[in-house]
């Protein structure tokens, strides 16, 4: 089966699909979700939020991400039992999510703090829709074109968005601009990038692939049904493991290195690591067990977190940010490949399930970190405890993956 054609009739090639998917993820994840991290110090400096309120704004976004993932996961069930509607057309869902991302990002520039939790919640819902449907649609078309490895390039998108947001905020800090100006810039950028890829996510819904009929999932080997919950659990550990750093990195760095002119570059360094790791994942010859690669990636992220705890210096934070970023989207790429291997006929709902557990981990992290900071003798001590908790979660996830290779040997 060939990929669906764009409205103009041309069938998008593998690189077009991968780049469009990457841009979609850059908008929804790199801007819609993660722009909050570099803008948080500006919001704190503006006095528009304090650390406690900021942690709940972050959690509102992650709760929205969880709600969006739940919607994606249970959409087939809702459609067949409660709502008389046709199946969701993945590209149309991507378009809707991208437009919503631009709207709510612009909304954060308005002086309506009472509306900010709702806007961050909606940004989370939109990012989950884009992530699940863009990933599923693009990976399926790349697989049919025999170019599955390009999926790694697609997952460089969030890193590119993180780099862009971090560098823009760095310039804004130098020019003494407000957080509201940053939100406005990112909202306009989200709409501009959406317009660039709009034609790719068009055309009529594609028919089911003949290689994976609707009943294919019913004939999967029984042991695979037990593997999905463990895969989702281990993937959820990654959500908890990275989120403390991804939310508070600039704040943590300012606490450890007050007055340093390099503080605002740690977040872009994380983004560079994300891009490099995603591109490197396309060069790997995956002939072994992806679960072992996932375990190694978790250990690498844990080491990145530990570097900032053990060496709270310029070099420690820079090296730690790079290590944390390198496996960030590679983890997602490998986990989604595992989901497609185990449930080829229901990949969207399976990806949604993984995203649910990931979302739960993200929701728990920021408030727990804020609570540890509030109960500690100092802010630095509290963040050290929170980062230690995050690294421990990643190591636990790595152990789950190693255990899975023994419990469920690869066929």
pLDDT tens track for 129-148: 998 899 888 988 888 888 88
User: Which homologous superfamily is 14-207+223-406 in?
Assistant: MFS general substrate transporter like domains (1.20.1250.20)
Residue 313 is encoded by which pair of tokens? 């210096």
pLDDT mean over 364-390: 89
pLDDT of residue 200: 93
pLDDT average, residue stretch 285-292: 78
Radius of gyration of the chain (CA): 20
Contact between 18 and 160 (Cβ < 8 Å): no
| Sign of the Cα pseudo-torsion (362, 363, 369, 370, in order) | positive
Of 50-54, 73-77, 171-175, 235-239, the range with the highest mean pLDDT is 235-239
Alpha-carbon distance of 396 to 384, in angstroms, equals 18
Q: What is the mean pLDDT of residues 249-264?
A: 84
pLDDT band of 224, cuts 50, 70, 90: low
* pLDDT at 6 exceeding the cut of 60: no
CB 19 within 8 Å of CB 110: no
| Contact of 186 with 287, CB cutoff 8 Å | no
CA distance 109 to 13: 37
Whether residue 68 contacts residue 129, with contact meaning beta carbons closer than 8 Å, is answered with yes
Measured distance CA(115)–CA(141) in Å, rounded:
39
Task: Lowest mean pLDDT of 37-46, 67-76, 118-127, 287-296, name the range.
Answer: 67-76
* Number of C-beta neighbours around residue 392 at 10 A: 15
CB 199 within 8 A of CB 6: yes
Average pLDDT over residues 203-230: 52
With cut-offs at 50, 70 and 90, classify the pLDDT of residue 69. confident
Instruction: Check if the beta carbon of residue 42 is closer than 8 Å to that of residue 183.
Output: no
pTM here?
0.80
Q: Are 69 and 359 in contact (CB under 8 A)?
A: yes
Residue-wise pLDDT tens digits, 35-57: 998 999 899 988 889 888 888 89
Residue whose tokens read 């692939």: 209
- The pLDDT, as a whole number, for residue 82 is 67
Mean pLDDT value across residues 369-388: 89
Could you tell me the two tokens for 192? 């501009």
Rounded Cα–Cα distance for residues 234 and 209 (Å)? 29
Q: Which one has a higher pLDDT value, 58 or 104?
A: 104
The band of 210, judged by pLDDT with boundaries at 50, 70 and 90, is very low
Helical axes 222-256 vs 379-407, angle rounded to 10°: 160
Q: How many Cα atoms occupy the beta-carbon half-sphere of 311 within 13 Å?
A: 12
**pLDDT computed for residue 83 by the predictor:** 64
| Model confidence pLDDT, tens digit, residues 309-325 | 888 889 999 999 999 99
Comparing CA positions, the residue from 37, 7, 12 lying closest to residue 269 is 37
Mean pLDDT of the 64-87 span? 75
- What integer pLDDT is reported at residue 29 of this predicted model? 92
Using CA atoms of 171, 280, 23, 351 in order, give the dihedral in degrees to the nearest 10: -120
Contact 350, 231 (CB under 8 A): no
66, 145, 147, 43: which is closest to 359 by C-alpha? 66
Average pLDDT over residues 98-126: 96
Q: How far apart are CA 327 and CA 333, in angstroms?
A: 10
Measured distance CA(253)–CA(267) in Å, rounded:
10
| Nearest residue to 165 via CA among 259, 305, 302, 28 | 28
What residue ranges do the domains of the chain occupy? 14-207+223-406
Cβ neighbours around 240 below 10 Å, total: 24
Q: State residue 359 phi and psi, 5-degree precision.
A: -65, -40
Give CA torsion, residues 118, 120, 132, 240, to 10 deg: -120
Contact 369, 383 (CB under 8 A): yes
CB 95 within 8 A of CB 198: yes
Segment 380-387 mean pLDDT:
90
pLDDT top residue among 24 and 260 = 24
Cα separation, 213 vs 225, in Å, equals 18
Tens of pLDDT, residues 146-189: 888 788 788 889 899 999 998 998 888 878 889 999 999 999 99
């Amino acid at each position: 089966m060939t990929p669906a054609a764009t409205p103009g009739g041309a069938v998008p090639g593998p690189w077009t699909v991968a780049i469009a998917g990457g841009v979609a993820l850059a908008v929804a994840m790199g801007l819609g979700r993660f722009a909050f991290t570099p803008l948080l110090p500006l919001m704190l400096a503006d006095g528009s939020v304090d650390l406690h309120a900021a942690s709940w704004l972050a959690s509102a976004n992650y709760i929205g991400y969880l709600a969006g993932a739940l919607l994606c996961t249970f959409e087939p069930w809702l459609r067949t039992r409660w709502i008389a509607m046709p199946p969701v057309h993945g590209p149309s869902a991507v378009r809707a999510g991208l437009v919503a991302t631009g709207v709510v990002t612009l909304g954060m520039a308005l002086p309506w703090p009472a509306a900010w939790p709702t806007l961050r919640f909606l940004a989370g819902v939109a990012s989950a829709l884009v992530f699940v449907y863009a990933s599923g649609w693009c990976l399926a078309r790349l697989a049919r074109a025999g170019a599955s490895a390009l999926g790694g390039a697609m997952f460089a998108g969030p890193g590119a968005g993180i780099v862009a947001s971090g560098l823009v905020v760095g310039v804004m800090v130098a020019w003494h601009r407000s957080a509201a100006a940053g939100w406005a810039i990112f909202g306009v950028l989200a709409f501009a990038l959406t317009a660039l890829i709009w034609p790719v996510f068009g055309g009529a819904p594609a028919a089911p692939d003949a290689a994976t009929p609707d009943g294919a999932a019913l004939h999967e080997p029984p042991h695979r049904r037990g593997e999905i919950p463990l895969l989702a659990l281990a993937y959820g550990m990654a959500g908890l493991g990275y989120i403390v750093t991804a939310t508070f990195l600039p704040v943590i760095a300012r606490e450890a290195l007050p007055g340093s002119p390099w503080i605002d570059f740690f977040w872009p360094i994380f983004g560079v690591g994300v891009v490099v790791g995603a591109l490197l994942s396309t060069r790997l010859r995956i002939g072994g067990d992806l679960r072992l690669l996932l375990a190694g990636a978790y250990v690498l992220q844990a080491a990145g977190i530990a570097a900032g705890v053990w060496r709270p210096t310029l070099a420690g934070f820079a090296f730690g940010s790079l290590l944390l970023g390198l496996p960030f989207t590679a983890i997602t790429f490998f986990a989604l490949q595992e989901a497609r291997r185990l449930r080829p006929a229901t990949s969207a709902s399976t990806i949604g399930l993984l995203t649910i557990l990931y979302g739960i981990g993200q929701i728990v992290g920021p408030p727990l970190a804020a609570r540890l900071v509030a109960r500690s003798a100092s802010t630095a001590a509290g963040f050290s405890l929170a980062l230690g908790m995050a690294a421990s979660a990643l190591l636990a996830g790595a152990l789950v993956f190693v255990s899975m290779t023994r419990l469920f040997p690869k066929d």
